[in-house]
Amino acid sequence: MAETQPLVRSDIFDKAFGFTKADEVKALGLYPYFKPLEATDGTIVEIEGNEVIMAGSNNYLGLTNDQRTIEAAQAAIVKYGTGCTGSRYLNGTLDIHIELEERLADFMNKESCVLFSTGYQTNEGSIQTIAGRNDVIFSDKDNHACIVVGTQCSVAKTMRYNHNDMDHLRRLLEKADPEAGKIIISDGVFSMSGTLAKIPELVALAKEFGARLYLDDAHAVGVIGGGGRGSASTFGLLEEVDLISGTFSKSFASLGGFLVGQREVIEYIRHHSPAHIFSASMPPANVATVLKAMDIMAEEPWRLTRLHEISTYMRAELRNLGFNVWTSQTPIIPIVIGEMMLCFQFWKDLFEAGVYTNAVIPPAVPQGQSLLRTSYMASHTDEHLDRILEAFRKVGLKHGIIDQNGNSLVS
């Protein structure tokens, strides 16, 4: 009689027990993540007792520490309390939620707007709601994770096209069922590269194939376009985009997200999106902060102008030093370093030189293309910028990323 082999069971936690990379990097003193800020005025932050220039924040207009947004948040807490204790669908709607939705719809030249509790939820919750079983989603391969999750949660078929490759998108559109409902989804500004989507081409393809167009403008609204109206506005095509999402955690100094579009479409999402119906609504302080940030953006257009000037200056100067900044077109400027461990070492040396950046490694970027993601604020001074550049120059020379003649040594 054959001997019975003992049953070997897998432990669902095996993957966690086998994850050692973070501890290995920490042991080398190179771990760049989850660094607690002990104090901040927006541009200068205190980390581990050291004051460093923040060159990795999405606080594009420099409003997170503005006294006016702080006072607006404080006043809202006094009037409404600290939270809403329920979803918008039931007991969690305040009059200022309605005011913000109306103002955003008007600002973006759309009929209607719906708020979500985070920017991530906005895309994840809207995409899975609007794209159904007989529909097809066409999604850029470099889209943000929240878009990817939204497509994965949806019962629609998803076809991913190569990043900003309009020929590939056309082939997929031609291949798709002509009777199916279609929606093209793209970041307006891609969060790692700082580049814009090819919106004129997206608009033209959407029209040709009877598809709807959805842009995630998390890094565009309050950053680029006429009056800060985002990526489509940059091309004068705001009216040609069906749905535009945005977030409040960047230029608007708060937390939450929104989607604007036709009234009927927004009402459908408002009444069917699980992320909207089953999540507690934005707290009063968050809403009041966004309203005040919108006031300031309208009253102080110099902030957008200054942001554009800083972005242009930093892209040019980093290139002059020899760094590869890809094809950035916005305040997001990546600096390609190469291998992951070199990127971590470069990050640490910059930090010790008084500059905080964000280390980005695979799978967020291709293998061998680890980078430092820098982003800039209207509140950065010329002195801040030049100190950042000098730190990059010294560390770049130290690690052989650039040479003294302003040439890149990264393949």
Which pLDDT score, from 0 to 100, does residue 7 have? 78
Strands of 2-123 (E only): list them: 37-40, 44-47, 50-54, 112-116
| Cβ count near 16 (within 10 Å) | 8
pLDDT at 352: 97
Question: Is 191 tagged catalytic?
Answer: yes
Region of 122 please: left (phi>0), alpha (psi -120 to 50) or beta.
alpha
Q: How are beta strands 112-116 and 50-54 bridged, if at all? A: unpaired
Contact indicator for 256, 247 with CB cutoff of 8 Å: yes
Residue 250 neighbours by CB under 8 Å, 6+ apart = 58, 59, 60, 218, 219, 222, 223
Name the architecture of domain 20-54+301-398.
Answer: Alpha-Beta Complex (3.90)
User: How many whole angstroms separate alpha carbon 335 and alpha carbon 61?
Assistant: 22
Task: Point out the catalytic residue in the list 97, 250, 276, 384.
Answer: 250
Query: What are the tokens at 167?
Result: 């020929």
Does 10 participate in catalysis according to the annotation?
no
Q: At what angle do helices 284-299 and 67-80 cross, to 10 degrees?
A: 150
Q: What is the distance, to the nearest Å, from the Cα of residue 383 to the centroid of all Cα atoms in its chain?
A: 27
> Taking a C-beta distance cutoff of 8 angstroms, is the pair 172, 138 a contact?
yes
Name, in order, each residue with C-beta under 8 angstroms of 393's C-beta and a sequence gap of 6 or more.
321, 402
Q: Which of 126, 191, 245, 279 is catalytic?
A: 191
CATH architecture of 67-299: 3-Layer(aba) Sandwich (3.40)
Phi and psi angles of residue 20, each rounded to the nearest 5 degrees, phi first: -120, -5
Q: What is the pLDDT of residue 1?
A: 54
Ranges of each domain in the chain? 20-54+301-398, 67-299
Tokens of 388: 């950042």
Given the residues 97, 110, 144, 219, select the one marked as catalytic. 219
Question: Reduced to 3 states, what is the DSSP secondary structure of residue 406?
Answer: coil
d(CA 411, CA 398): 17
Q: Determine the angle formed by the axes of helices 199-209 and 166-175, rounding to 10 degrees.
A: 10
Q: What does the DSSP assignment read for 48-62? A: TTEEEEE-B---TTS
Tell me, yes or no, if 219 is annotated catalytic. Answer: yes
pLDDT along the chain (411 residues), means of 10: 74 96 96 96 95 98 98 98 96 98 98 98 98 97 97 97 98 97 98 97 98 98 98 98 98 98 98 96 98 98 98 98 97 97 98 98 92 98 98 97 91 65
Q: What is the number of other CB atoms lying within 10 angstroms of the CB of residue 398?
A: 13
